[in-house]
């Protein structure tokens, strides 16, 4: 499977885990707690596979940038934690940074 497809799956697993942290209520609720543990375990397993072919800095930039955006969107819907304009601008800068790395850096090229 393509490394970037594995990275996308790692991002989904991490976003599920992170979004379930609040619902786990300090690991007192079973299903959200299981989602946290399995989500992070799956994410890290997939990241290990990705880093066999993609540099660690590129992998982490994409993983963390996409994770921030997706977790923020999910928290807005599930927990009504709506970011203000400054937060959205900061998130936009993170996305722009990841885009610059992907589009213009030779570091991530195979």
Question: How do residues 74-104 score in pLDDT, each as one tens digit?
Answer: 999 999 999 999 999 999 999 998 888 888 8
48-74 exposure pattern, b = at least 16 Cβ within 10 A, e = fewer: eebbeebeeebbebbbebbbbbbbbeb
Flag whether 110 is in a domain. no
Taking all residues of the chain, what is their mean pLDDT, rounded to a whole number? 92
Flag whether 100 is in a domain. yes
Per the structure, the count of domains in the chain is 1
* Alpha carbons 74 and 37: distance in angstroms, whole number: 19
Flag whether 26 is in a domain. yes
Model confidence at 34: pLDDT above 90: yes
pLDDT in tens, 39-71: 999 999 999 999 999 998 889 889 999 999 999
Name the burial class of residue 89, with classes exposed (0-12), middle (13-18) and buried (19+) by CB atoms within 10 angstroms of its CB. Answer: exposed
Our CA dihedral for 39, 19, 85, 88, rounded to 10 degrees, sits at 10
Flag whether 109 is in a domain. no
Flag whether 61 is in a domain. yes
- pLDDT category at 108 given cuts 50, 70, 90 is low
Give me the pLDDT at residue 84, please.
96
Model confidence at 110: pLDDT above 90: no
Q: How far is CA 16 from CA 32, 35, 102, in A?
A: 9, 7, 24
Flag whether 32 is in a domain. yes
- Could you tell me which of 68, 76, 14, 4 has the C-alpha nearest to residue 41? 14
Percentage of residues in the chain with pLDDT exceeding 90? Answer: 79
Residue 94 belongs to domain spanning: 3-104
């Amino acid at each position: 499977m393509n490394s970037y497809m594995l990275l996308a799956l790692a991002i989904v697993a991490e976003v599920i885990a992170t979004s379930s942290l609040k619902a786990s209520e300090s690991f007192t609720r079973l299903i959200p707690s299981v989602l946290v543990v399995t989500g992070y375990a799956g994410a890290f397993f997939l990241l290990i596979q990705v880093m066999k072919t993609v540099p660690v800095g590129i992998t982490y930039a994409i993983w963390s940038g996409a994770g921030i955006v997706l977790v923020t969107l999910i928290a807005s819907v599930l927990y009504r934690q709506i970011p203000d304009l400054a937060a959205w601008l900061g998130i936009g800068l993170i996305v722009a940074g990841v885009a610059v790395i992907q589009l213009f850096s030779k570091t991530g090229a195979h």
